[in-house]
């Protein structure tokens, strides 16, 4: 009898346990496709995210992180407001149910639900925040705002375990096998990741100040090799810029020749140097063909009639000639800047220029006042030179300083600057602190919440249609807050108007949505010759491997071109060899800012451009092996790309011989080994002459090019005299590395 009771009890427990588990399983929300299965409990806690082909769990679930949340700047429901401090509060999701293709989500405390539309496709799962459902009688009839009060909603939040790589721009965690990506399906989603111990929370938010409803993101879990294919499908389905296509275009990885002064008169000279360097891309900076000087006329986009009398027709002719020479033309422009000499600023400033702060006149402003009284404390207002500018009606006014104790006022005011129209305004008039560019204060920023950027974008697009094929978005950081949205949005307002879509694009700043437009990362500004190698190690060489995690290359330029003089050694072949080789290590291009007069003045231009040509040919041919790229990623070991005796490329590590000729700066020399023989490549940095070396003539050979011998003389027994000008190669047989280095150290320059 006791045994019977025992087995009966056990059976009841088993049945009840099975029933509870089955009921619990039935309450789970399962969202899946052929690649992934996402399981969410009815309490809105994500339980699992499995990559189905290998049944691998991608989630860290121990912290019980809800998949959704909603945020308010302060509580608005009366009882919540009374019960909690008035501060920014985030309310976690605590319930979820599925109704067809929609999820209905409840939250702790706040009296409304969120509706999130889901779309299960073979390539991804899409989540779109649709709307709120207000609970009955949640707010009294006299409640004077449109409910629900919400600052933002997190409509996807997943704690994803760390993998070998994390692309912070694309928001993807991946390794050799699996990639997990939360990707915006429109420009309005704020995509980000919060780093934790061993995992990251990949998230997608909708923000009220940008757009709260109809904002979407996609979840991709796939084999890493197929990630770009999945993103390409999203770009197609949601009509996004084709970032995957541009990354796969071979033109994207090639370097470019950059000019800010090319025109129909000097084009042939520019093409000569572009071909000398083996460039396939030709970037043109807007001042080359537009009127005005630098930034100060940005926004007008008028053609320079003295150089381009027929305007767009002349530009079109120039671009066709560039293409006819085998180079692809691109446009470099500052799309979000308005010049302070443009018609948008003077004589009457446009109302769509961005203001950083707003003030109200505490006293009337007359036509000749030099002090401006305001009702609000101006404390923390920017005081940098050139940026102290107020926009009051039809006038721009500069100021020297301000008071931070009442009565508040701006003092030392200069009226009608930038040739604007002086006006008077009454007490209570509202005006703003103009958003002046921090880079030189020669331009101001557009208010991206107005249609001014669209207006300027139409002008840029019309210029682009003259025959440009790619674009650089310079000054992309020059937008108003929120930057995560406006950086990419300003770029997109231009990009979507460009026909045809650019082969590739670069930009000075990027945010998540920019990934679909900027298939190449930013070019760094010019570094001086003396610090170039160290800056390359510090900046582009640090960024390039990170950007590879975003499936993107960067640009290791822009490179300047400096003629040697008494203050600088100038641009030298080994410097360009270092930059281009490090760029090639990560499949990246370079770019050079050009100046014809400097090219012609510099005695080593032919050698410098031969460095560009060889490395560009290596890019075109995909010549480097993975092992060679790995070697080039050693930032301390320098390399030279040789042409051997048969004209074939050969990569060799080499080392600089310091203190040539007792420390002379006139000669640079690097030593390397080929087989049993030692070689030194050397040249004169700023001219030509001769060099006496304590070497036995019978043990050395001189080559202008490998395989092309050049004669030289013996100075006396045990010494030789060799020419020093362009790059040459000295081959030493039966001689140690130290012997050769010492000989160059004891050399004598003969001018």
- pLDDT value at residue 75: 85
- pLDDT value at residue 1: 47
Q: For residue 525, name the pLDDT band (cuts at 50, 70, 90).
A: confident
d(CA 390, CA 381): 11
Whether pLDDT at 22 is above 60: no
- pLDDT value at residue 203: 98
Write a three-state SS string for 336-405: CEEECCCCCCCCCCCCCECEEEEEEECCCECCCCCCEEECCCCCCCCCCCCCCEEEECCEEEECCEECCC
3-state secondary structure of 563: coil
151: tokens are 């600052």
Residue by residue, DSSP assigns 723-735 as EESS-EEEEESS-
Whether pLDDT at 531 is above 50: yes
Nearest of 599, 597, 577 to residue 672 by alpha carbon: 577
Whether pLDDT at 714 is above 90: no
Whether pLDDT at 2 is above 60: no
Whether pLDDT at 593 is above 50: yes
Assigned CATH topology for domain 657-750: Immunoglobulin-like (2.60.40)
Q: For residue 176, name the pLDDT band (cuts at 50, 70, 90).
A: very high
Q: How far is CA 369 from the centre of its chain?
A: 45
424: tokens are 């008077």
- pLDDT value at residue 76: 83
Whether pLDDT at 619 is above 60: yes
Residue 512 main-chain phi, psi, to 5 deg: -50, -50
Whether pLDDT at 12 is above 60: no
Q: For residue 141, name the pLDDT band (cuts at 50, 70, 90).
A: confident
Please, which residues have CB within 8 angstroms of residue 17's CB and are 6 or more apart in sequence?
none
Q: Please state which CATH number belongs to domain 27-240.
A: 2.70.98.10
Mean pLDDT of 319-336: 98
Q: For residue 180, name the pLDDT band (cuts at 50, 70, 90).
A: very high
d(CA 299, CA 452): 10
d(CA 575, CA 145): 63
- pLDDT value at residue 521: 82
Q: Which residue has the higher pLDDT, 571 or 2?
A: 571
In this structure, what DSSP letter does residue 466 have?
T
Question: Mind listing the pLDDT tens digit for each residue in 418-475?
Answer: 999 999 999 999 999 999 999 888 999 999 999 999 999 999 999 999 999 999 999 9
Stretch among 200-214, 283-297, 376-390, 676-690 having the lowest mean pLDDT: 283-297
Which helix or strand (DSSP H or E) is residue 452 part of?
Answer: helix 452-464
Whether pLDDT at 208 is above 60: yes
Question: Mind listing the pLDDT tens digit for each residue in 94-128?
Answer: 999 999 999 999 999 999 999 999 999 999 999 99
Distance separating the N- and C-terminal Cα atoms of the chain? 117
Let me know: does 177 contact 503? Beta carbons within 8 Å. Answer: no
- pLDDT value at residue 11: 44
Mean pLDDT of 82-94: 91
- CA torsion sign for 699, 705, 710, 716 is negative
- pLDDT value at residue 263: 97
Stretch among 230-234, 451-455, 695-699 having the lowest mean pLDDT: 695-699
Whether pLDDT at 729 is above 80: yes
Let me know: does 391 contact 432? Beta carbons within 8 Å. Answer: yes
532: tokens are 């170039």
Question: Mind listing the pLDDT tens digit for each residue in 471-502?
Answer: 999 999 999 999 999 999 999 999 999 999 99
Task: Give the residues across from 684 on adjacent strands.
Answer: 667
Mean pLDDT of the chain: 94
Entry pTM? 0.92
Which helix or strand (DSSP H or E) is residue 573 part of?
Answer: helix 573-585
Residue by residue, DSSP assigns 86-114 as SS-EEEEEEEEEEETTEEEEEESSSSEEE
Q: For residue 477, with 0-12 CB atoms within 10 Å meaning exposed, 13-18 middle and 19 or more buried, which class applies?
A: middle
Buried b (16+ CB within 10 A) or exposed e, 335-347: bbbbbbbbebbbe
Residue 68 main-chain phi, psi, to 5 deg: -135, 155
- Alpha-carbon distance values, 44 to 156, 183, 676 (Å): 11, 21, 70
Whether pLDDT at 18 is above 80: no
CA angle 423, 424, 430 (to 5 degrees): 100
d(CA 678, CA 386): 58
Whether pLDDT at 650 is above 50: yes
Please, which residues have CB within 8 angstroms of residue 433's CB and are 6 or more apart in sequence?
355, 356, 357, 358, 359, 381, 382, 389, 390, 391
Q: For residue 715, name the pLDDT band (cuts at 50, 70, 90).
A: confident
d(CA 687, CA 692): 16
Whether pLDDT at 13 is above 90: no
448: tokens are 């991206």
Whether pLDDT at 38 is above 80: yes
454: tokens are 């669209």
- Alpha-carbon distance values, 176 to 173, 404, 546 (Å): 11, 58, 16
Write a three-state SS string for 438-456: CCCCCEEEECCCCCHHHHH
Residue by residue, DSSP assigns 498-527 as -SSPPS-EEES---GGGGGT-SEEEEPPP-
Nearest of 446, 428, 432, 426 to residue 390 by alpha carbon: 432
d(CA 707, CA 140): 92
Mean pLDDT of 710-738: 93
Q: How far is CA 334 from the centre of its chain?
A: 15
Helix residue ranges per DSSP H, 28-128: 78-83
Question: Mind listing the pLDDT tens digit for each residue in 51-80?
Answer: 999 999 999 988 889 999 999 988 888 788
- pLDDT value at residue 312: 97
470: tokens are 């790619």
Q: For residue 147, name the pLDDT band (cuts at 50, 70, 90).
A: confident
Residue 486 main-chain phi, psi, to 5 deg: -75, -30
Whether pLDDT at 627 is above 80: yes
Assigned CATH topology for domain 253-339+449-522: TIM Barrel (3.20.20)
- pLDDT value at residue 77: 81
Cis previous bond, 148, omega within 30: yes
């Amino acid at each position: 009898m006791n045994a019977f009771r025992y087995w009966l009890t056990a059976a009841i427990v088993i049945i009840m346990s099975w029933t509870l588990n089955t009921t619990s399983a039935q309450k789970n929300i399962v969202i899946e496709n052929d690649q992934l299965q996402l399981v969410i409990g009815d309490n809105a806690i994500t339980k699992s995210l499995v990559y189905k082909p290998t049944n691998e769990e991608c989630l860290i679930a121990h912290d019980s992180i809800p998949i959704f949340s909603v945020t308010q700047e302060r509580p608005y429901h009366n009882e919540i407001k009374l019960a909690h401090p008035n501060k920014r509060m985030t309310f976690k999701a605590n319930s979820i149910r599925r109704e067809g293709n929609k999820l209905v989500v409840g939250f702790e405390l706040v009296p409304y639900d969120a509706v999130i539309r889901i779309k299960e496709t073979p390539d991804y799962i899409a989540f779109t925040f649709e709307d709120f459902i207000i609970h009955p009688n949640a707010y009294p009839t006299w409640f004077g705002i449109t409910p629900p009060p919400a600052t933002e909603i997190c409509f996807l939040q997943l704690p994803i375990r760390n993998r070998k790589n994390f692309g912070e721009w694309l928001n993807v965690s991946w390794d050799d096998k699996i990639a997990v990506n939360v990707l915006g399906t429109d420009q309005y989603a704020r995509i980000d990741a919060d780093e934790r111990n061993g995992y990251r929370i990949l998230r997608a938010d909708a923000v009220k100040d940008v757009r709260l409803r109809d904002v979407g993101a996609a979840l991709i879990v796939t084999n890493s090799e197929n990630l770009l294919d999945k993103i390409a499908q999203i770009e197609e389905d949601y009509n996004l810029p084709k970032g995957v296509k541009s990354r796969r275009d071979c033109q994207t990885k090639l370097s470019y020749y950059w000019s800010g002064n090319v025109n129909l008169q000097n084009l042939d000279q520019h093409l000569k140097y572009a071909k000398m360097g083996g460039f396939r891309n030709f970037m043109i900076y807007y001042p080359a063909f537009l009127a005005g000087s630098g930034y100060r006329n940005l926004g007008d986009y008028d053609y320079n009639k003295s150089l381009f009398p027929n305007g767009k027709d002349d530009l079109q002719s120039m671009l066709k000639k560039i293409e006819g020479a085998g180079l692809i033309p691109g446009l470099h422009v500052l799309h979000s800047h308005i010049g302070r000499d443009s018609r948008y600023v003077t004589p009457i400033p446009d109302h769509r220029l961005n203001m950083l702060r707003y003030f109200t006149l505490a006293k009337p402003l007359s036509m000749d006042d030099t002090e401006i009284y305001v009702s609000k404390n101006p404390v923390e207002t920017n005081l940098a030179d050139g940026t102290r500018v107020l926009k009051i009606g039809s006038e721009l006014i500069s100021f020297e300083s301000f008071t931070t104790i009442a009565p508040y006022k701006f003092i030392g005011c200069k009226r009608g600057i930038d040739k604007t129209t002086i006006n008077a305004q009454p007490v209570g008039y509202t005006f703003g602190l103009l958003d002046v560019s921090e880079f030189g204060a020669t331009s101001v920023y557009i208010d991206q919440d107005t249609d001014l950027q669209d207006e300027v974008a139409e002008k840029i697009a019309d210029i682009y249609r003259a025959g440009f094929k790619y674009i650089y978005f310079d000054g992309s950081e020059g937008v108003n807050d929120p930057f995560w949205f406006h950086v990419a949005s300003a770029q997109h307002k231009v990009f979507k108007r460009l026909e045809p879509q650019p082969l590739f694009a670069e930009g000075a700043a990027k945010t998540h949505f920019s990934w679909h437009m900027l298939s190449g990362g930013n070019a760094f500004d010019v570094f001086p010759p003396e610090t170039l190698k160290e800056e390359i190690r510090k900046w582009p060489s640090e960024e390039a491997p990170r950007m590879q995690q975003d499936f993107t290359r960067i640009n290791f330029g822009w490179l300047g071109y400096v003629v040697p003089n008494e203050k600088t050694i100038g641009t030298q072949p080994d410097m360009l060899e270092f930059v281009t080789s490090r760029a090639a290590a990560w499949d990246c291009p370079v770019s050079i800012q050009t100046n014809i007069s400097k090219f012609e003045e510099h005695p080593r231009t032919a050698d410098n451009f031969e460095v560009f040509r060889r490395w560009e040919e290596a890019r075109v041919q995909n010549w480097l092996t993975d092992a060679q790229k790995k070697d080039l990623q050693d930032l301390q070991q320098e390399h030279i790309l040789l042409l051997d005796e048969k004209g074939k490329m050969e990569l060799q590590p080499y080392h600089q011989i310091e203190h040539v000729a007792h420390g002379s700066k006139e000669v640079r020399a690097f030593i390397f080994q080929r087989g049993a023989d030692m070689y030194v490549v050397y040249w004169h940095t700023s001219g030509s002459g001769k060099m006496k070396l304590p070497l036995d003539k019978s043990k050395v050979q001189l080559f202008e090019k490998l395989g092309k011998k050049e004669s030289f003389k013996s100075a006396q027994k045990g010494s030789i005299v060799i020419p020093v000008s362009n790059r040459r190669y000295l081959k030493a047989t039966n001689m140690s590395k130290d012997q050769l280095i010492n000989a160059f150290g004891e050399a004598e320059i003969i001018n």
